[in-house]
Amino acid sequence: MPSPDRSFLHRDAVHTARLAAPLVAGHLSHGLVGVVDTVVAGHHGTTTLAAVSVGAALFWLPMLIPMGTLMALPPMVSQHDGAGRHADIGPLLRQALWLALLLGGLMFVLLSLLPHLLGPMGIAPDIVPGATAFLHAIRWGIPGFTLYLALRYLSDGLHWSVPTMVVGFGGLLLLAPAGYVLTNGLFGLPELGAAGVGLASALMFWLQALGLALYLARARRFAHLHLFTHWEPPHPATLATLLRTGLPIGVTVAMEGGLFAATALLIGRLGDVPAAAHQIALNVASLCFMVPFGLAEATTVRVGHALGRADAAGVRRAAMAGYALALLTQSLSAGVLLLGHDAIAGLYSQDPQVIELAGRLLLLAALFQFPDGIQVVSAGALRGLQDTRVPMLLAALAYWGIGMPVGAGLGLGLGWGAAGMWLGLTAGLGMAALLLGLRFLQRSRQQPTMTNAG
């Protein structure tokens, strides 16, 4: 007969898996956006693929700030729900939407300026025009994307993640054909190349935001929350609370994503083939990451709910369930990359040089599957405790104090190229797994009502 602790852990693992499954599917659909963009660009040409690689790196790096900042919403919503404070959820969402609009506007301005930095960054001259066109096109979808994130995080925080999955895959039904048509200039339309990939993505972002807003407004599940029955002007105190909790999350997420993006930009200095191969390997690794990322979000929600109930044992069980599931899923990801690296690379490109290098990078990606899963679940559990500032500093040390120097030293200093840069990624993720895991163990021993201590 199982012990009470094992019985509770099994129950928590089942609950986390049920909550995480639609989240994982939604994140996979989000990751498939990159797959679609990369496949469409790769079949248009190696130069187009390299341009989308650099442009996507410059797009997603700053976008990680609003994405992470708005991640303050799920644990706050979950804590209100766990404590029975349902009347506070609607006003919190409306303030989050104001914040999403502000962040979206700031990112639009930034994305308008970033193309001017491509030349000074040393990006190969034949890549610059396509990367610029991609950024100029996709920037129009940024406000729609940030609004969609706020709406999605509200639903996720209430333990209802199915809309994330449905809207995510619904967007792909538009993106794939629209991207192919616009990129290649079918049906009498002009051939836009990399700009077509960006324009199709922008259109998808707005339609996803509209679709999710309509669902939340009409669904009976959310009717008692009165999400859109009235509207308040921006409330400085609430916005400050969201920023105080969320901005360190945004910086932490951006530092991890920035490690990958900066790696893409450095590899972009090496020419078309390394840049294209890196984009393929990064795209596949990012798709694998969507699984533990969904588990981490479910862990955030479950830890936050336990925190709202003042249930210290529940906090620890929710985290342990997340760790167990992440180890299982990362074992599967590592196995797929080890066995199918060349075949996977061949789906993206017809260039033998690109396929060969991308396959080698995918073997290196298999190395960091386990540390990547541990660090992201640890970060999710800490977000559930609203512990965000110290994890931000730990992430800075891991990614930029360890990962980037090791990658730059091996890849550029010793001439190992893209493979050396990817070994740096592995080192950074391994250190993050260690530091964030230890931080959660420390915080979980304290009373669950002691939040914002970091």
DSSP assignment of 81-144:
HHTT-GGGHHHHHHHHHHHHHHHHHHHHHHHHHGGGGTTTTT--TTTHHHHHHHHHHHGGGHHH
Q: What would the pLDDT profile of 236-254 be if each residue is shown by its tens digit?
A: 998 998 998 888 888 887 7
Question: How high is the pLDDT of residue 134?
Answer: 92
pLDDT at residue 148 above 90?
yes
Confidence of residue 31 (pLDDT cuts 50, 70, 90): low
Question: pTM (2 decimals)?
Answer: 0.75
Tell me what pLDDT residue 8 has. 61
61 pLDDT higher than 60: yes
Rounded-to-integer distance, Cα 4 and Cα 25, Å: 32
Top-confidence range, 42-51, 92-101, 230-239, 278-287: 92-101
Answer for the pair 304, 448: CB distance below 8 angstroms, yes or no: no
Residue type, 5: D
**pLDDT band for position 110 (50/70/90)?**
very high
* Distance in angstroms (rounded) separating the CA atoms of residues 440 and 223: 36
Cα–Cα distance between 17 and 295 in angstroms, integer? 8
Distance CA 348, CA 281 (A): 10
pLDDT tens by residue, 421-436: 888 888 999 999 999 9
CA 394 to chain centre: 19
More confident residue, 262 or 150: 150
